[in-house]
Amino acid sequence: MTSAQTEETPFLSYPGAQRPDRHRWVDSYGVNIAACEWGLSDGPPLFLVHGGSDFAGTFDVFAPLLAAAGWRVISWDHRGHGDSDYAPLYSWDADVRDALSVLDSTTPDPVPVVAHSKGGGMMLQLAEALPMRMSKVVIIDGLPSPEPHPDVSDHEQRRFTQQNLAQWLDHRRSAASTFRKPGTIDELAKRRKRMNPRLSDDWLRYLVTIGAKRDADGWRWKLDPAIRFGGFGPWRPDWSLERLRTLRAPLLGLTATVEEEMGWGTNHKALMPFLPPGASLVPFENTGHFIHIEHPGRVANMVLEFLG
């Protein structure tokens, strides 16, 4: 389990960053999910969904811009991420169920969602299962590109899937008793910089004080060591493409044009034929995977205009 920072381990400051106004716990079938909110408690709800290996604190600059427009902005740490509980296993279905728990704890009405990276795939799956829960959807660099797959027999495909699942389970068993390597704030920021080279050092140091905890021997990222890169189990982009075709809610998609290790490498031109009717797709030139961090004001204005 993890816990929030205390007065003895204060957050660093960063221009425009604002910690949430409220924190609460959501019980998702026995897993405690750390939820947080920016803005008025009685404003219309708007949900932000972070990506794999991230946490709600990555919205600390972006979320206040939406809250300033009158929205009650709600986000949460996915299981095994940030301050939420670790879990025995991780999967798309578990993350989607947790997302629904947070939505249900807030309102039974249709709501708009803004989702980044892995969060976009989660929301497409939830929208397929419960289309009445979403009024509008914004996906930030979380739309997959069509990719050709080898023409293999059903028998070979089943064997591949079994091997893939076995590898994930073996990793989970071997990681059950491991701990993340400690370091200073600068050292943890440098590790993250390898995956996010476009993000500033000051921003990454700020994130360490949100997404890591300080132990006696140094700082450690809170992310469960059992979660591999991505952290959501076997997945293929065509699964999300099939969901994308049937999305009923109005869709705004934002795509990066600079490939990064954590990015999805989405080709917006190849994706166009797979969009649902009326959807909009906007590529951001010379921009990496974290579009809302590189251009928080521009993205917030586009989201607010789309939400009307």
Taking the chain (308 residues) in consecutive chunks of 10 residues, what is each chunk's mean pLDDT? 47 94 98 98 98 96 98 98 92 93 98 96 93 97 74 54 66 64 95 94 97 96 82 62 89 94 82 94 96 98 97
CATH numbers and ranges of domains, the chain: 22-146+154-307 (3.40.50.1820)
Per-residue b or e along 209-220, where b marks 16 or more CB atoms closer than 10 Å to that residue's CB: bbbbbbeeeebb
Write phi, then psi, for 61 (nearest 5 degrees): -95, -40
The three-state DSSP-derived secondary structure of the chain is: CCCCCCCCCCCCCCCCCCCCCEEEEEEECCEEEEEEEECCCCCCEEEEECCCCCCHHHHCCHHHHHHCCCCEEEEECCCCCCCCCCCCCCCHHHHHHHHHHHHHHHCCCCEEEEEECHHHHHHHHHHHHCHHHEEEEEEECCCCCCCCCCCCCHHHHHHHHHHHHHHHHHHHHHCCCCCCCCECHHHHHHHHHHHCCCCCHHHHHHHHHHHEEEECCEEEECCCCCCCCCCCCCCCHHHHHHHHHCCCCCEEEEEECCCCCCCCCCCHHHHHHHCCCCCEEEEECCCCCCHHHHCHHHHHHHHHHHHC
Q: Dmax over Cα atoms in the chain, in whole Å?
A: 59
Q: Give the integer Cα–Cα distance in Å for 278 and 251.
A: 8
Own/partner long-range contacts of 158-163 (Cβ < 8 Å, ≥24 apart): 161/234
Q: Give the integer Cα–Cα distance in Å for 208 and 251.
A: 33
Q: Give the integer Cα–Cα distance in Å for 135 and 149.
A: 33
Q: Which residues pair with residue 23 across a beta bridge?
A: 36
Q: Give the integer Cα–Cα distance in Å for 80 and 228.
A: 11
Residue 91 pLDDT:
84
Residue 4 pLDDT:
45
Question: Alpha carbon of 269 to those of 108, 128, 145, 244, 282: distances in Å?
Answer: 36, 24, 9, 15, 10
Q: Return the axis-axis angle of helices 118-129 and 237-245, rounded to nearest 10°.
A: 50
Residue with tokens 């140091």: 205
Parallel, antiparallel, or unpaired for β 111-116 and 218-221?
unpaired
Residue 174 pLDDT:
66
pTM (predicted TM-score)? 0.89
Are 303 and 252 in contact by the 8 Å Cβ rule? The answer is yes
